[in-house]
Amino acid sequence: MQRTMGVLGPRGTHSEAAAVYLNERMPEACRLVAYADIFECLQAVEDGAVDTALVPVENSLEGAINITLDTLARSDVLEVERELIWPVHNQLMARCRAEEIRRIYSHPQPISQCRAYLQQYYPAAEVIKVSSTARAAELVAAEPAASGWAAICTKRAGELTGLITVAEEIQDNMANCTRFFQVRRRGTGSPIQPQEKMLVICQIDGQRAGALYEVLKEFAERGINMTRIESRPARTELGAYIFFFDLECLADEVLQREAIRSVAKKSIWLKNLGTFPVLTVK
């Protein structure tokens, strides 16, 4: 039976474009299943409705995707299968001419990523936030050209809905990219080679001075490079935080396991969400 992969829909989102790209490079392509939001994607994996899901975890300009982090921290059954670094390309697409645009639709992230462009070229336009870039394209396509509506979306979303390109690559930073995690249920597959990174989530005693330093010291003393650290409220009491550590894998697996055990002893709880490869799209 063909494997299934949940993605943030509808067709034409950055998430769907990234999933299509990943699918073409996997030994066995998955059937894509679109969900209305990121939480539904991850919940579908937990419930067994899909085998895996591709969800955004961080944007290079806007930072962490909190719903992804919070869901991974809460779950006892999810693990990371691989990471995908996806370059973000935003286009301004419409049915009208550039000078006729009066209202612009998009997801909050692209709107923020294109803020300087909008201020320079469309300072008087009304900017409307919607659930996805693909939804923005659908809304604009459903209106007559005379409405003056436009969408910030992917090229694929515009093509699927019959829009024309008004301006290409309107993001403020051309190095803008989004990190995705492909997530699966724990124990449903072997680690994929090469094992380049690992994700560790833990809660430490924030009331004790030096608690975070002691955790970081365990990694540093064993030569484990930390590529990212993020904190999120533990939602148990004010001042309690959960920490997310992205770590580069060591060739010495024994030393790596030793570090995780030592950190676990200094944490209230710890979850290791697995080791995985990183695919970077140029």
* 95 has pLDDT over 80: yes
In a domain, 67, yes or no: yes
Which residue type occupies 186?
A: R
In a domain, 69, yes or no: yes
In a domain, 191, yes or no: no
The answer on 180 and 60 residing in a single domain is yes
In a domain, 273, yes or no: yes
Structural domain boundaries enclosing 73: 4-88+176-185
Q: Please report, for the domain that includes residue 221, its CATH number.
A: 3.30.70.260
* 212 has pLDDT over 80: yes
Q: Please report, for the domain that includes residue 150, its CATH number.
A: 3.40.190.10
The answer on 134 and 95 residing in a single domain is yes
In a domain, 257, yes or no: yes
* 203 has pLDDT over 90: yes
Report field, pTM of the whole predicted structure over 0.85: yes
Confidence of residue 205 (pLDDT cuts 50, 70, 90): confident
Q: What's the CA gap between 127 and 96, in Å, rounded? A: 16
The answer on 101 and 152 residing in a single domain is yes
Q: What's the CA gap between 47 and 185, in Å, rounded? A: 9
The answer on 59 and 27 residing in a single domain is yes
Query: What DSSP designation does 128 have?
Result: E
In a domain, 190, yes or no: no
| pLDDT tens sequence across 156-183 | 899 999 999 999 999 988 888 999 999 9
The answer on 207 and 82 residing in a single domain is no
**Pick from 51, 48, 37, 59: which is nearest to 180 by CA?**
59
Q: Return the SS3 of 280.
A: strand
Q: Are strands 197-203 and 241-248 parallel, antiparallel or unpaired?
A: antiparallel
- In the chain, the number of structural domains is 3
Q: Are 197 and 83 in contact (CB under 8 A)?
A: yes
The answer on 109 and 146 residing in a single domain is yes
